[in-house]
Amino acid sequence: MNDGLGAWSTLFLLGAYHGINPGMGWLFAVARGMQEHRARAVAWSLPPIALGHALAIGAVVLIAQLAQVALPMQYIRIGVAVTLVGLGVYKLTAAGTFAGAACK
């Protein structure tokens, strides 16, 4: 595989991951800048990360639009609310969240 294409593909996939977990995008950009010892590498990392993020958002919007065809909006709202609250409770109660969460 071409090194340039591989790097852009990796950044694109990291952007999609960033769409799923928005707190991670800056971390990938900074890591690339540190690996290459250039601040410009950080700037060059941001467009593919942003594109992957936009595509991840687009996928969620498309899924939401398709769900509206099959289900009443009230069911979708309840399902999304339960999912978000459940994820929040899981994150708050998961091992290492508060107790023992010091940086190492």
| Domain ranges across the chain | 3-68
Q: Which residue has the higher pLDDT, 27 or 3?
A: 27
CA dist., res. 40 & res. 59, Å (int) = 30
pTM of the prediction?
A: 0.53
pLDDT digits (tens, 9 = 90+) for 48-101: 777 877 887 788 788 888 888 888 888 988 988 898 899 888 888 876 655 545
In order, the DSSP letters of 69-95 are: HHS-HHHHHHHHHHHHHHHHHHHHHST
Query: Nearest to residue 16, comparing CAs of 47, 51, 41, 43?
Result: 51
